[in-house]
Structure 1
Amino acid sequence: MAIFGSIIKSLIDLKETLTPEGEAVRDQEEVLRNLLKKAKNTSFGKHYNFEEILESDNLRKSFAEKVPYFDYNKIDKEWWYKYHEGEEDVTWPGKPPYFALSSGTTGKSSKRIPVTEEMVEAIRKAGIKQVSALSNFDLPPDFFEKEIMMLGSSTDLQKEGDHQEGEISGISASNIPFWFRGYYKPGEEIAKIDEWDDRVKMIAENAKNWDIGALSGIPSWMELMLKEVIAHHNLNNIHEIWPNLQVYASGGVAFEPYEKSFNALLGKPVQVIDTYLASEGFLALQNRPDTHAMQLITDNGIYFEFVPFKPEYINQDGSITEDAPVILLEDAEEETEYVLLISTVSGAWRYLIGDTIKFTDKSKNEIRITGRTKFFLNVVGSQLSVNKMNDAVQELENEFDIRIPEFVVAAKRAEEDDEYYHYWYLGTEDEADDSKLAEALDNALKDANKNYKVARSKALKGVKVTTIDPNMFHEWNAVNKKKGGQVKMEKVMDEEKFADWEKFLKEQNAVS
């Protein structure tokens, strides 16, 4: 019997029982109050008069009225750049010891997002919450003695002046508590390897030495790693080498588009648990089975606001208009898409993280990630969000019995008739007829989105589909120096980038 595992499981069960749920709205007001108090003497806090906001009768309303929205470009241009010029107390007291590098999905160069000691601690606390939530899942005691494969970025952070830089998963892994290091794989030595392909090769070579019970990482890169392990050891599925694998903690993107291809690598079902760790913080976690929804972490250094995700509030570059209305937590509605804004213990203020979400259960404050503000296809009035695209692609998977883990789409004029079409590239290893896929995709989107249906009767002439090897998406990321770690494949491209994409595919002989 797994005695040690039984003890750990009992401690987790006890902690979950003794930890009060808390009132989310009350917690959020307290978080905001603490943020403002802590930062009131920073340059940012003085500029926006945090002292006055703290004295107001309605703290959250006053905060929303006095502090504007910021996306990365705006807050970096106006404030964060000062850190790199040696200034202190800019948007948060002192100077951040880390900067999280995030190229995101559309930027040409890496963003450098401050990560304070308070944020490192907040991420650690959120991780403990996630572990505590495992008591809600039907896991046997011996699971808690198994090792955990955390597939993130390199933990070999780069020293830049008075701070270190790396992706958030690398920063988090480099701060793993000493008591957890015995469970953590691939271990410090392999985790420091900077080159993604070299790191995965070492994981494959060492896989037989580990008893992995859980996986953690972004689905697309997790799939590549599992395929490499399977190929290296000539296996049929990953459970032949890791028979005790029972949990996969997905993160960063919706898991459903990857579900079919991911399950094909398994020998038996695993419990998928969604998490929401971004470069800006650990925002939400799944704390119960039978759902892919995640509960917002409302008491841990991050204050949330929500802007309705409507075309009139979204600029062409994915930012939001200055007059866009803000919705507070208690006023948000279920099944309505919102742009997420956060204020954090790293000195991000009313910050547009770039994701869109919807509440699936307001009583539990559970959300789903539905897409990105930049992944909103509205060139000819189609008003397509990634959420609708994902749903349509899943319908294709079911109708044609194929796996489509990746896709990209753009609206552009066709040379033959100068009309607008939506050009889709679907990544699949399965055989399918492109014209039949195009027809089915078009019909699915018409049924799901009335604006798309109207656009198809007017400015949008049709849909063109090309199926390609899914590895082309990963190679595209590699060419753009975005391979592995926290990287998410962009789903929507403008015409300029789409031209580069199609040129790349031709150079790779991926299309005729």
Structure 2
Amino acid sequence: MSIIDLKLPNAILKALRLPQNNLRRDQLRVLKKLLKKARFTSFGQQYRFDEILLSKHPGKKFQELVPTFNYNKIYNEWWHKTIKGQSDICWPGKIKYYALSSGTSESASKYIPITNDLLRGNKIVMIKQLLSLGKYENIPFTSIGKGWLTLGGSTELQKGPGYFAGDLSGITAKKAPFWFQPFYKPGKKIAKQKDWNKKIAEIVEKAPQWDIGFLIGVPAWIQMCVEQIVERYQLKNIHELWPNLAFFVHGGVSFEPYKKGFEKMLGKPITYIETYLASEGFIAYQDRQYAKGMRLVTNEHIFLEFVPFDDINFTADGEMIENPEALMLHEVEEGKDYALLISTTAGTWRYLIGDTVKFVDKEKSEIIITGRTKHFLSLVGEHLSVDNMNKAVQMASQKFNISIPEFTVAGIPVDNFFGHHWFVACDDKVDPKLLCNFIDECLNELNDDYAVERKSALKEIRLSVLKEDDFMNFMLSKGKVGGQHKFPRVLKGTMLNDWYQFLEKNK
């Protein structure tokens, strides 16, 4: 171990004039960099970025002068001007690219601005993550030089009046450096394919020609693709075809529900690496083996704030109040749920990204994603998070030795009270009643609020076992395939009605 790898106390580092382990300093440096770059934009002028830069406490001054935004607010007040071709609105210059993102609940596409500065920051973080592989035990470096199969949405971009819009993977591929092309699979031609079924068919056809070392994508879509390859070529496992497959880089959802089913397709263990790459920026990544969570990117291109996810700062529908309490990185506590606000090099300012996170190691800035602000159930105060649901499903998978790759939960009326209706994907044989009772028992252990309400207003828990194809076909029917699209863990409103109609139509 070299001296640069040692974790020395800040007092010693200061005495030796070495860089200190100071999260607050790192984040304030990023904030100042963002403010200086955007000070002459319309946004920077209105919210007095110059005054913030001159303040003794720029972080607090920034929070005092700049309001928080959700997508609708920042789009209606600012971003719609950039789509019309106006320059220097929230970030210097003209926005030439937009990532289309609908999250997991909204039906209309969101236009998220993408700048060269943001892509450059994302690229630096990607390189840092690649370099961090040296911290993993028994790493087969030969696999890094093999093919990287990335399964995302179509890389074909829509042409707008003065801009391009599409999946972030498409924009990234368009901007990818020349040296990346030999590693990138399935290649530009297949990646442009908009028809999902045709894309998978072409990947399956080409699979024997590739030597894949990495898989990159959302677990559900990667699993579907690999299953089809194994079935097509009558393999015992995918390693018969790709012996150098050693890594799966995944993100967007908890991998635990998928792990059991995924490992059935493998001939030997592989390393799973979690990332937090959203349309708005590369936020965190797992940088060491057996890490509790993902390390936040604190010193590159994103300034982070954390709003306690509680009844004070959020309504019962998951809407953030007008002036919420917002903490900087050095002010957070481990074990508490926070909604994430980000400011980035794409003119995204104090923006509610919609995810909730929990710190599992504050010193290392390691987080886990616990859910989304609108994807939780609290009909009567049970405060059931996606993290609770994931853990209960994982425990059930182990208990019954089954694979549950997908699930979702809906709140339902039960007489004059309330209940939860679980829908789980399981192609293995299982008794729905036993599974329902066990998940209910797990949630009683995991969540005190849930346990209290199960004795009062939360009267009934139902569970329906469906096929995995039911979930995949529903997503296909909504045009939500590949890339950033995940099945919502909680169904509400229009999406819930569409789900019931889909099940009725296809039962």
* TM-score, normalization by structure 1: 0.93
TM superposition shift of 1:418: 4.7
Partner of 2:50: 51
Partner of 1:5: none
TM superposition shift of 1:355: 0.7
Counterpart Cα distance in 1 of 2:378 and 2:385: 9
Give the match's secondary structure for 1:248.
strand
1:408-447 matches, within 5 Å, as 408-414=408-414, 417-447=415-445
Q: Does the 8 A contact of 2:316 with 2:378 survive in 1?
A: no
Residue type at the aligned position of 1:33: K
Partner of 2:15: none
Partner of 1:335: 335
Q: Does the 8 A contact of 2:357 with 2:368 survive in 1?
A: yes
The 10-residue stretch of structure 1 (140-149 or 78-87) with the greater mean CA deviation from structure 2:
140-149
Partner of 2:141: 141
User: Residues 109 and 61 of structure 1: is their aligned pair in 2 closer, same or farther, counting only changes over 3 Å?
Assistant: same
1:80-229 matches, within 5 Å, as 80-137=79-136, 138-229=138-229
Pairing partner for 1:491 from 476, 489, 492: 489
Partner of 2:28: 29
Partner of 1:304: 304
* TM-score, normalization by structure 2: 0.94
Residue type at the aligned position of 1:444: C
Residue type at the aligned position of 1:67: V
Q: Give the count of matched residue pairs.
A: 493
User: Residues 103 and 495 of structure 1: is their aligned pair in 2 closer, same or farther, counting only changes over 3 Å?
Assistant: closer
User: Residues 16 and 80 of structure 1: is their aligned pair in 2 closer, same or farther, counting only changes over 3 Å?
Assistant: farther
Counterpart Cα distance in 1 of 2:392 and 2:164: 42
Give the match's secondary structure for 2:363.
helix
Residue type at the aligned position of 1:374: K
Partner of 2:16: none
Residue type at the aligned position of 1:336: K
Give the match's secondary structure for 1:25.
helix
Partner of 2:67: 68
Residue type at the aligned position of 1:252: G
Partner of 1:405: 405
Unaligned runs of 5+ in 2: 7-18
CA RMSD of aligned residues (A): 1.9
Residue type at the aligned position of 1:338: Y
Counterpart Cα distance in 2 of 1:478 and 1:61: 45
Counterpart Cα distance in 1 of 2:22 and 2:331: 15
Partner of 1:396: 396
TM superposition shift of 1:383: 0.7
Counterpart Cα distance in 2 of 1:58 and 1:379: 41
TM superposition shift of 1:145: 2.5
Give the match's secondary structure for 1:134.
helix
The 10-residue stretch of structure 1 (29-38 or 142-151) with the greater mean CA deviation from structure 2:
142-151
Counterpart Cα distance in 2 of 1:378 and 1:325: 21
Counterpart Cα distance in 1 of 2:461 and 2:482: 31
TM superposition shift of 1:262: 1.4
Deviations 1:415-456, CA, capped at 9 Å, x for gaps: xx4542101101111111111111111111111111111211
Give the match's secondary structure for 1:275.
strand
Q: Does the 8 A contact of 1:44 with 1:91 survive in 2?
A: yes
Q: Does the 8 A contact of 1:274 with 1:292 survive in 2?
A: no
Give the match's secondary structure for 1:396.
helix
TM superposition shift of 1:76: 0.7
Q: Does the 8 A contact of 1:342 with 1:351 survive in 2?
A: yes
